[in-house]
Structure 1
């Protein structure tokens, strides 16, 4: 007999994409207690023969029908507040994903999820500026806020935003990605200078038959990092 109380490890996934020009996150409606009827991040318990990453992919497929995705995926943080789950002591290893084109997948609820859908992030009141009627289960509002900050900061110092535009694209197309993720558009002049002065961020596609004219269309370049970073506007919840 163990002297330790029941203890479990779970995984939660904050999966973001851009849908109809808006940053969206995948949520499921819980079909079972605790928090039956509440919206939550996809996730669940890590089985005895799984590592956290394997469990995360399995739970994502079981609860939403979304299989492994291309794009950015990383471990976010570990959440271990003693009272975060009323059933027992549960520690969650949260992951964050940010990938283009995911909204083409219509989530299908499965496992213990009663429903699954893409939610516009602006409707969830994560920045604290707006009230919302969406009450999230467990500490998932905290996890989502942390995940949102991770995604917003990710496009400050990487070229990940360029993955969310179809080639060829304009600088206005690319700027709209930053506006969707940050909740406010970057300054036009500074944005243009930063993109065009960063080697390998974008590659110009000159208009056919118009040699000497400035390019209006671009393709993704080989660069992956921005140094120095492209800082977001002051009114986007930075820091």
Structure 2
């Protein structure tokens, strides 16, 4: 006869209700919207996005500059496919430099050590980082410039800036998403109240504020908030911070 097992019932777990603002427990941390607004307003400066364009131009100049038979300095705007591919590498290297040295604030020694790292498929680690931040891989940029060269299309700093415009916007979007990551649907009322505060602080058009108050989609509200910050936000004075 099988031995009867002594199965003990598990103790009932005591589930504690979360404590609210009126309880003795800790309150949920409030979102510092002024800190977020400041980060959004200064996004390009703090993350050195304004340096990408000049660095791409620098790569072009270094590759295209030559001195003609009369000793006059000129810049090529037409390239064969081999030259176009080399230019693509120089431009992509600028994105590698920007992402690691400017954005991540990495020293050159560390960057140089990372350049030698590749995954099992032979993909460069630093290129993978750039691909994530700019939605662009090296082979695609090479192909694009080689195609322009094949079609005898002009390649200069303006053409390169235009090609990379959406890619730089993608990079900025990733940074923006990180800045806004703490704002959730449950924070909609708090964000509306903050937008109203901005309306009073910066004397915004009442229609702008009212539109925000009537918005019930968090993504739409965040877009309105970002637009307000971009065009109107300035950091509160010390007196205003103390009053708050």
Q: TM-score range, shorter-chain basis?
A: under 0.3
Higher radius of gyration, 1 or 2: 2
- TM superposition score normalised by structure 1: 0.26
Q: More strand by proportion, 1 or 2?
A: 1
Instruction: Return the structure number with greater relative CO, CA threshold 8 A, min gap 6.
Output: 2
Query: With structure 2 as the length reference, what TM-score do the two structures score?
Result: 0.25
